[in-house]
Amino acid sequence: MKTQPSLKKSPPKKAPAERVVKDIRRATRRHFSAEDKIRIVL
């Protein structure tokens, strides 16, 4: 049985809270459709 890949070990010098926040922001990033992107630029 494999462990979950989301529980990655961070380097000991890095603050773990910072790493968690960055991972959450990356996972919850908004995805815009092509039409939305064009509308935003215009």
Instruction: Pick 7 or 31 by higher pLDDT.
Output: 31
The per-residue pLDDT for 36 is 94
Least Cα distance to 20 among 36, 9, 35 occurs for 9
The per-residue pLDDT for 40 is 93
pTM above 0.85, yes or no: no
**Cβ within 8 Å of residue 16, ≥6 positions away:** 10
Both structure tokens of 10? 């961070």
Least Cα distance to 21 among 10, 31, 13 occurs for 10
Region of 41 (left: φ > 0; alpha: ψ -120 to 50; beta: rest) is alpha
pLDDT digits (tens, 9 = 90+) for 21-35: 888 888 888 888 999
